[in-house]
Structure 1
């Protein structure tokens, strides 16, 4: 079975009782592109994204060996996910392999068929789909089905009733072409797709790259409407150089009233909180620093905002790599499931092999354990785990994540990153986000519950129970309350850093933030919360450590290694 994120997924075959006819079971997608166009519910940027998805699906079909021709590409056969963020080609009932010797005349809607498919004993190839794609562009961007005019017209100097000339297919749809948005290369692309000569029609890869150039937005998830498209800029270079401050400003302009104080707006992408400036260089961070691309999903988390749960998507089985996968194929066994019967595996950046189905299941299991980093589980020749971290962009590509899976993965990673890197948590009663302004005080106030209850509602940052003592107290009064990071500190394994044995997890001596170190390089770490820089060996500040032992960035300290911590500094 085939799988591609822009082709409707085939799930299996069902035989009804007392019937010998099989029923194909496909994934459920609630909306057709036609219904969305008729209701005029799609913004222009969403239309470009849909056209790009369709182009990617056609590229996959055309690169199969032998090539697969869809032969009936219309808006009726493009389905959309419930959030409209992904389009999939459906109804491959009349599709054919190019190797088939018998190709039927006008297999699909004749109004989107090229002239070579309308002849008796027709001969055509995958460029038939390119012609239909040109018609689809017209339908999507104008909102009107491009009905062609007459195929023939009388010659200007007609001498007989039979003197007619054929009208080029492009001219037959000129009324709709003139209604296209006036953007560079768009009209030219449509005219090339509608060329009477199949050899002059572009390959879908070229069409895809042109359509991708029109996309200028990022998808903002976590807002009240579910998601919003925030227009940035279409130029790829200027898009990548957009600063985080500029992105936040555009988000607040697009979604007015999202947050009262702009300082309470947190953006997350791929488990990272998007900082306005680089702590070390003091320069403004840009989108390319976080590898944010067009149509990427950025999650909003802000004080007082209702947290929406992203449903766990169904596990898609029998995924298969497309031939144009940019990762390197390998014959090595799958490092996650050595007994996998997958015929195609790819090599990850660490050098170990994976296949999409086991990789998806493995990463989902990590997310369920509240882990936001994906590490290689392979056993090396030395008998140890590889543990090299895979970037999410690599995982998304190697796991062939669907749009629903991608939204779920990014949402869960954002939640985990938020809990690790920011002082924002869910109120245990109403699930709105509450922010602890004072990192040394575990008493947190929920404004939403306070307004509803008529008195100030506070809860404990650690045990999430209602606060029982005075707000100024550092103990909530719940007998079973325990700091959740204590066990993590007590059970931290030892690693060798600068020639000394040290726990791999420490609490920041200033604010108590848990930091885990990679035992390679310098012994000084920067707390992601309070920005205090301290020595991981002796737990003194960087300045004090270097004062006692100058030039000791990669050497032992003047004082002994601090023992394993048994308390959180800010909680005591």
Structure 2
């Protein structure tokens, strides 16, 4: 059923006739058009259709398909006349897409927009959208995703009940991995934080001891936590390392993923492994472990 604006709509500018700038499937909706913040116009149904398409494409923010201008979720929610079911779907999908595309962002509990953290050592994060909308400073906890309680800055937790670093807890309580094809390795934790970017990864126990991080694409030894290029010259993919098994981690590395120069140096050190592997080499990149699907709980240690 087509959505239509009420004749007495006063929350935003509505015009009669004119182009429906977001009707890319030629549905020819008859409703009046809302003026979007970018200056273009759309019916509530075409706006819903266009934003639904962006969600299916994995987008975590909305933009005008004509000019590329940003369309905040709050604007979409109102002007698309989203139903309660549509709002729930949009908000859940936005959160999922944001985590999948950029784990360095979280969804603000106040407005459901994607927020990036500037201070990696501070769990208290300011949401500019909520602050502007409410007229007061709105901060939430990066760890428990609730409105901030307590003093700041803090790196361990806020004062909300149950706020804890779930990723560190997981690293400390995980079981050990039993390698099927690596000799004489025992007491190696089954879950590790990538030493380069901090992503949580779980080893399946199959094939070799090395794993390639799905987030930063850097390869390291799951046993000693050294880069493969450092571990390999004194070991091989299926034998013990020259140094002992690294204990369970007590902190999670922070990665500035805008530092492409540094990451390029790290990847360059792996060139030896990519070009000179022999019969002891790990048979397939895909077999080196599984990206831990709980990575969206990454805190800042």
Which structure has more strand as a fraction of its residues?
Answer: 1
Greater relative CO, 1 or 2 (CA 8 Å, sep 6+): 2
Taking structure 1 as the reference length, the TM-score comes to 0.29
* TM-score, structure 2 normalization: 0.50
